[in-house]
Amino acid sequence: MDYRQLGSSGLRVPALSFGTATFGGSGPLFGAWGHSDETEARRMVDICLDAGVTLFDTADVYSNGASETVLGAAIKGRRDQVLVSTKTGLPMGDGPGDWGTSRARLIRAVEASLRRLGTDHVDILQVHAYDASTPAEELMGTLDTLIAAGKVHYAGVSNYPGWQVMKAQAIADRYGWPRLVAHQVYYSLIGRAYEADLMPLGADQGLGALVWSPLGWGRLTGRIGRDRPIPAGSRLHDTEQFAPPVETDHLYRVVDALEAVAADTGKTVPQVAINWLLRRPTVASVIIGARNEEQLRDNLGAVGWALSADQVATLDAASDVLPPYPHTPYRQQEGFARLNPALV
């Protein structure tokens, strides 16, 4: 397993990490993803550790805390062998104090996560979504308090707008507080919007990308193609309304390219899709998920080999889309492109 620095921090994380949204899965979304109990979760952790995957990602909102509870049981007795990342900020109830990132709610949420995980600290805490009702100074000050107390080692965000990331970094610099070092983002061959703003921001501001849904919400598993509609039993039937959108023609164009490269390399479609991501700038770790051991072992096969330049070019061309304004003219007009070749 390759290990990489997480952004500008001193923390080294594995190129692949394991997402535990399938642990204890319940409800219309997480129940459709999977529902590993403690025994199966412990087996998944065993396989990950044998492969060098030491970072495990969860969130308090995953099955209303059940994912954290099951993960805590699965790593019991070997906490010093793993890195734990969790997220908070999304609603955990209907009350006014059950959502957001106010100082009171954030401290209370972290304490609850620590109890469920059975640990005294989390290695990475990520704010799960931008909360417009909490001032950035309050958020960053609270993160500083949690880090100073040793309950959080590193802080990051997830699904954040770029201007709020920059504002948070500026506030941290102003007061001498710890900066954000991670951004958990959606990024895949059928979802490359991350590249337009958030990737250059991450490179400039020292945020390592922790990539969620690298297989495009299950669309790049090799089971869906131009002549293969969504199969029976696929979680997409129950969860597609929550998924990042993609046009059907674009999906099929990318899948065609993936299948061609997979045939050329002798790898599976998911392995090729994940390997492509591992080559991209700012990517620190790609979060893989699995409902069973077979899926996990297949995803682990995404490392230990490299795509050729021609194969990368094939995937790049098939997945490329024109970014929205203000990035469009930098791709369409020579004068704009000459001023900023790195944006092309």
Q: What residues are labeled active site? A: 62
The secondary structure of residue 179, as a DSSP letter, is: P
Residue listed under structure tokens 């390592």: 208
Which residues touch 276 (CB under 8 Å, ≥6 apart)? 189, 307, 312, 315
The secondary structure of residue 178, as a DSSP letter, is: P
Q: Where does 204-261 show beta strands of DSSP type E?
A: 208-212
Q: Where does 213-317 show beta strands of DSSP type E?
A: 283-288
In DSSP terms, 86 is beta-bridged to 125
Residues 237, 230: contact at Cβ < 8 Å? yes
Give the Cα-Cα-Cα angle 108, 114, 118 (nearest 5 degrees).
150
Q: CA 314: distance to chain centroid?
A: 24
For residue 311, report the phi and psi dihedrals to the nearest 5 degrees.
-65, -40
Helical pair 66-74 and 103-117, crossing angle rounded to 10 deg: 40
Give the burial string for 30-60 (b: 16+ CB within 10 Å, else e): bbbbbbbebebbbebbeebbebebbbbbbbb
